Chains A and B, each alone.
Chain A
């Protein structure tokens, strides 16, 4: 299959993603040092909040979106054995998204958009920031269209056949992202941009928060689905085994898409503008969405066990030792699952309607987010990068042992950074403070944890450097490498799939109904009651 054009497309997206990652990692180290207060000459709240805002946008929006797009294009191309549909269209999407990033970066780096990546109106950023963010999302919609078109092309050519699992998951993600981004798109287009440009005078912060909550939960599943796709369809092959169940994987992806959408109010548990009943409804949905993760944990670990036993592992746990720990993708999943266990436990605390009050907006939340996103999700992005780079660049990985050391150091750094962060939250430290100024004895108990976090940050930034260096040297290498992505086969071949496991039509209707129930009245109420908007506030 001649897919040089697809390789270039995917690799270009990946370089933007990991370029943003490298820059944001350095900012992360600056932040953890600045906030500790031990280095007076570094202290500047203006620089700190500009850095926090940029770090969040680069990690949360740029790394993820570009990685997901590049990964999706290549998965579609290699699983369906179809050329990427309308490459001009795909490159246009890339161009729109990149233009958005550059536009948003200008006010961010100049300190004109220090409103954090969650916007927080009535704090107002420079209008260019909102316009840039919008273009990034619009660019990603081009990708969604490409994925759905290719999925339809394949289904038309192969009626009744099961869509290859990796593409099924990628299409699920494209559909998820279209639903997900609608909330923030409405907020930005009808509230933030007209308000920042002076066309309207006030903004209803309660409505803005409700619309952002529409997006805020499923967006993390948009980031997570490539990781789960690798868990199911790439890792078992790399480990030397098979997927335990293709059908359960499909069910898990469908559950993720359907139930990650109508549950965003767990970000508003502590908010005054939504009533108890809606919050409880979303709380119940939040626990339903743990099901696909429970299922994934089981199926993926069962797949690894099959691999371990095929490799000669014996006994109850012997198969774990028999896994190829020196394969970056296998190591990434082992470390990723370990972080998922701890991060998932923290998530259950956050999701609990009452316990959340103890940790809400404290340092615990930042720690949780870094562990589950920076840890579980991103470490698998690294695993995918190490596997895809030689294939896309046509050159062997510069240094495989450095890749292994990098994954271990990322894991260790993340544990050293996020454990104290969680403890600081339990000790009452608010999140996102640039310095400690409270005249209270409680703050003395925070100091050892602030120090420990710096070591975590140092290890993480060295690890990030090792990743970028390895990928860069691979790209520049002189040897040639010929290889193609190999997908894991299920133990039991998939045949006669029921339509609901091979199509999204039914599920889109279900999502539409769920969203109407979960968000219909909570949004409508702002138009039924007398509300008072807020003017524009600087930072």
Chain B
């Protein structure tokens, strides 16, 4: 299987602070890649570099075959992104948000209409078509944001803590959407703090103080660290961190 993300010694410095320190990894097409780490470990910074939102200090990164430093516009055409903050327009209706992002990514108009209908049906949102987004519950907003992020069928979708602040059942439903996306061949790159979600990933990387300390399947990681759950793996690794909140 081909690599859709290849990162080699990618580094980001803010002044004398090295947020991301020479990280290297690959992500294969169609996999769910979990990007874990404590707060301040550098996850979001790394992800923002991969999305072309932040220039890197040194190192190389290829996303969907394009160089993140020199071809960021091509990178952007081939990815979807869902940020930590809910970032759809609260004062637009559900269908208007979908139409806006469909249009911006260049999905032809007739296709926008038919795909919007399909999407709303799949999500069970048919009655919410004309609802202003700000009146939706958080779990629904997150589902909508994810669906909008993959509306243009990108090769890769980056999810930055996509399920913050919702209950386990809602999270579980959100992950069903993620599986549906991977079934369609979309690669998922996801950061999270929830260790039950880490179990759902095909492979997981653990970031500590800007480095990648471990990278493998959840099963192998648990064996390696003699742990029963991903939570224990995380505890063992994150305890070493110098710059966490605790």
Q: Do A and B come from one complex?
A: no
Residues of A within 8 A of B (CB): none
